Chains A and B, each alone.
Chain A
């Protein structure tokens, strides 16, 4: 069974940093592109970033370019989101999500349960 689990969220001050992790199991991790999607309180879904199965190709939404870095460690079945220069508007539930084989962004067939990130003083 496919399982994705996020960790590393919490409360951080504006301008601070946080690293989210996504642990994957139940499938051959390096075969699949992955993404981070967030949802601010009471708002809709926002795609944040994505990367290819090998990790060599990455994509970002404009609002996080230069501040967030997506990466993966295929030997550990882990994906990461390094978030720097955090702003109040980055406050959201962050989901990791899997792109199915021959899929595309934002086609996601499996999602984690989500992790809360709060940027506030």
Chain B
């Protein structure tokens, strides 16, 4: 069973920078692209980052993605209260032949 791991929660002050990690293995993140999503309460997820580091259409450059080995990271700079949401990474698991999401990270902007 694939387990892609994210920290359950993070908090930071407005204006600061935060990084959200996504840790996997060679069968998932290590050999496949990673996507990142933002989910505001009560809404469908929204694509932020595709193919490890490509910002989706309309996403500000405050959001960035990177990948190294079996881990990926979402960075958000200049935090705003509107960034308070759940964030998910997702990738393909080559062994399971299935897509997998991380458990999600709840970001609080205090």
A-side residues, CB < 8 A to B, are 35, 37, 44-47, 50, 59-62, 95, 100, 103-109, 111-114
Contact = CB atoms under 8 A, between A and B. Distances in A.
Contacts of B46: 111
Interface of B: 1, 32-33, 35, 37, 39, 44-47, 50-51, 56-57, 86, 88, 90-92, 96-104
A81 B44 CA distance: 18
Of listed B39, B88, B101, B102, residue having the most chain A CB within 10 A: B101
Nearest to A65: B98
User: Chain A interface secondary structure, helix, strand, loop or mixed?
Assistant: loop
A103 B44 contact: no
Kindly list the 6 A-B residue pairs having the minimum CB-CB distance in the complex, ordered from nearest: A106-B99, A47-B99, A105-B99, A106-B90, A111-B44, A44-B104
A23 B12 CA distance: 40
21 contacts: A37-B45, A44-B88, A45-B104, A59-B97, A59-B98, A62-B1, A103-B50, A104-B32, A104-B33, A105-B98, A105-B99, A106-B90, A106-B91, A106-B99, A106-B100, A106-B101, A107-B50, A108-B45, A108-B47, A109-B50, A109-B56
